[in-house]
Amino acid sequence: MPQNPERIVDHVDLFKQPEYTELFKNKREQFEGAHPDEEVERVVEWTKSWEYREKNFAREALTVNPAKGCQPVGAMFAALGFEGTLPFVQGSQGCVAYFRTHLSRHYKEPCSAVSSSMTEDAAVFGGLNNMIEGLEVSYKLYKPKMIAVCTTCMAEVIGDDLGAFIGNAKNAGAIPQNFPVPFAHTPSFVGSHITGYDNMMRSILTHFTTEENKKKKTNGKVNIIPGFDTYVGNNREIKRMLNSMHVDYTILSDSSDYFDAPNTGEYEMYPGGTKLDDAADACNAEATISLQAYTTPKTRAFIEETWKQESRVARPWGIKGTDEFLMAVSEITGHPISKELEIERGRLVDAMTDSYAWIHGKKFAIYGDPDLIYGVTSFLLEMGAEPVHILCNNGDADFKAEMEELLNSSPFGKGGTVWNQKDLWHFRSLMCAVSGNLNLQKFLLSSAINRTISFNTNKCCQSEQCS
Ligand code: SF4
């Protein structure tokens, strides 16, 4: 029996068991007309050569294993950081199953999100009926405080108008007129999960920006937007630092309790999250600090243009990044950096000095989202490490320029090369093919979500975004 209910094994171990190895062997011999093992081995070795690398980098029309997810997963991640919020995806059920699976599998926590489950009829006539029925059922069954709507490729290709559909649903009595339903169009054939995060964050903030909510005086707080940071424990650390400085703040989208919920023995559908009242009051803050630049460009533009509020970017990675963040908070709020944080900084410098010998001169290859890469590279340079290959699938020209400036600012960064809009098959070539006698001792760093998305492939469609 290949599976035993007493000990369920995952697919890697499962496929090594005799039933499967026999099946694969027969399939190979009888139906696949497979090449001999030696030939396969020869080609595998060739794909590690410099010649193959050149061919791989000349590729234009094909993406293999992109190091990114599609827009709705980012939109869902942003929405789930708000109190009592249920993400509602207008589109096909399969896509939403994929988003939930990846988030649940990564965090080992339940992830609630619904879909309007559009099928053939909706593809022809539009998804209005699905939206009306879906909102009504979601509202009555799951009792959220807010429903945040985004779209999949299908709804975008048809051209579903979310604003009009939600208005129709309210007029039809599916949900109360004053029930909050922010929405973001998240076409997955452009951008990536960080674009989806930005679209949803802007949409939620736009929803709460009303004449009634905007006050004449500031509330003295500072808003923090964490961005698409999969290490939600970072939110707790940011809060600890701000509390230590006695700063009043609002984290805009705080999913630390949602994706790292305590096991109390009772299921809670919407643990934690930014209070909706605080989100509504965010427009009255002194300023907003975004911890990721490339995940929030539209949101920051909205904050500056509509709220007329200062927005800054500070990435608290390593000594320099964390200094910049704390100094920005101190400057905005007038609260000094606490003695406690000063002592911790000294301890960190000491730890870095103690471990410098282990990292200094080591070569690193890094891939991930633009802000993650920037932060990791900045910290590695502080440790005397040498980032060699830096690959980003969802960076833009500004990111490349900023990275090159960072690399050039340190003697350890001089040999680093930034590969923008490249995928993990390019990355493989970078890791395998080494020119001449340059013997790289390489370390690979990536974001956990990228590893999950890229290596546990679970395709639901064949688009390049679909991982
Ligand atoms: S890229 Fe794939 S998973 Fe993502 S929305 Fe489009 S069809 Fe769905």
Considering only residues 393 and 465, tell me which one the structure prediction assigns the higher pLDDT.
393
Span 227-238, average pLDDT: 95
Span 94-98, average pLDDT: 94
Tell me which residue has its CA closest to atom 2 in ligand 1: 466
d(CA 227, CA 272): 17
HSE-CB of 421 using CA atoms within 13 angstroms: 12
How many CB atoms neighbour CB 242 within 10 A?
20
Ligand 1 site-directed mutation target among 153, 154, 195, most atoms within 8 Å of CB? 153
- Whether the pLDDT of residue 34 is over 60: the answer is yes
Question: Which helix (DSSP H) or strand (DSSP E) does residue 293 occupy?
Answer: none
How many residues comprise the chain?
Answer: 467
Span 99-119, average pLDDT: 94
Maximum distance among all alpha carbons in the chain? 77
Please give the distance, rounded to the nearest whole angstrom, from the Cα atom of residue 5 to the centre of ligand 1. Answer: 33
Considering only residues 37 and 315, tell me which one the structure prediction assigns the higher pLDDT.
315
- 387, β-bridge pairs: 364
pLDDT band, residue 445 (cuts 50/70/90)? low
- CA dist list (Å): 349 to 126, 271, 411, 452: 58, 36, 20, 32
The pLDDT score that the predictor gives to residue 12 is 86
- Whether the pLDDT of residue 64 is over 80: the answer is yes
How many CB atoms neighbour CB 32 within 10 A?
10
d(CA 208, CA 302): 12
167, 205 Cβ separation under 8 angstroms: no
| Per-residue pLDDT tens digits for 400-432 | 999 999 999 999 999 999 999 999 999 999 998
155, 121 Cβ separation under 8 angstroms: no
Which atom of ligand 1 is found nearest the CA of 98? 3
Which atom of ligand 1 is found nearest the CA of 70? 4
Please give the distance, rounded to the nearest whole angstrom, from the Cα atom of residue 171 to the centre of ligand 1. Answer: 30
Ligand 1 site-directed mutation target among 71, 460, 462, 464, most atoms within 8 Å of CB? 460
Span 214-241, average pLDDT: 96
Side-by-side strand order, sheet with 287-290: 249-251, 222-225, 287-290, 310-313
Span 16-29, average pLDDT: 92
The reply to whether ligand 1 has any atom less than 6 angstroms from the CB of 466 is yes
315, 325 Cβ separation under 8 angstroms: yes
DSSP code at position 320 = H
Span 296-316, average pLDDT: 98
Percent of the chain with pLDDT over 90: 85
Ligand 1 site-directed mutation target among 152, 157, 158, most atoms within 8 Å of CB? 152
Q: Under CATH, what is the fold of the domain 222-341?
A: Rossmann fold (3.40.50)
91-115 exposure pattern, b = at least 16 Cβ within 10 A, e = fewer: bbbebbebbbebbeebbebebbbbb
The reply to whether ligand 1 has any atom less than 6 angstroms from the CB of 465 is yes
The reply to whether ligand 1 has any atom less than 6 angstroms from the CB of 209 is no
Q: Which residues are CB-neighbours of 312 under 8 A, at least 6 positions away?
A: 287, 288, 289, 290, 328, 332
Residue with tokens 């080992």: 108
Domain formed by 360-448, architecture:
3-Layer(aba) Sandwich (3.40)
- Whether the pLDDT of residue 232 is over 60: the answer is yes
Residues of the chain with CATH 3.40.50.1980: 71-208, 222-341, 360-448
The reply to whether ligand 1 has any atom less than 6 angstroms from the CB of 285 is no
- Whether the pLDDT of residue 435 is over 60: the answer is no
Q: Under CATH, what is the fold of the domain 71-208?
A: Rossmann fold (3.40.50)
| Per-residue pLDDT tens digits for 202-227 | 999 999 999 999 999 999 999 999 99
The pLDDT score that the predictor gives to residue 455 is 33
292, 227 Cβ separation under 8 angstroms: yes
How many CB atoms neighbour CB 217 within 10 A?
6
Judging by beta carbons within 10 Å of its beta carbon (0-12, 13-18, 19+), is residue 207 exposed, middle or buried?
A: middle
Q: What is the pTM of this model?
A: 0.90
Which atom of ligand 1 is found nearest the CA of 152? 5
Backbone angles phi and psi of 250, in degrees to 5? -130, 125
Backbone angles phi and psi of 149, in degrees to 5? -100, 135
The reply to whether ligand 1 has any atom less than 6 angstroms from the CB of 224 is no
Q: What average pLDDT does the structure give for the chain?
A: 91
pLDDT band, residue 464 (cuts 50/70/90)? very low
Backbone angles phi and psi of 456, in degrees to 5? -95, 70
The pLDDT score that the predictor gives to residue 3 is 79
- Residue 153: active-site member: yes
pLDDT band, residue 125 (cuts 50/70/90)? confident
Amino acid at 454: S
Tokens at 279, concatenated: 């989100």
d(CA 407, CA 270): 42
Considering only residues 90 and 453, tell me which one the structure prediction assigns the higher pLDDT.
90
Tell me which residue has its CA closest to atom 6 in ligand 1: 153
Tell me which residue has its CA closest to atom 8 in ligand 1: 95
The pLDDT score that the predictor gives to residue 448 is 40
Which atom of ligand 1 is found nearest the CA of 189? 1
d(CA 56, CA 384): 31
pLDDT band, residue 299 (cuts 50/70/90)? very high
DSSP code at position 34 = P
The reply to whether ligand 1 has any atom less than 6 angstroms from the CB of 460 is yes
**Catalytic residue from among 153, 222, 313, 376:** 153
Which atom of ligand 1 is found nearest the CA of 465? 1
Please give the distance, rounded to the nearest whole angstrom, from the Cα atom of residue 117 to the centre of ligand 1. Answer: 13
What is the sign of the dihedral through the CA atoms of 356, 360, 364 and 370? Answer: positive
The reply to whether ligand 1 has any atom less than 6 angstroms from the CB of 98 is yes
Span 130-157, average pLDDT: 97
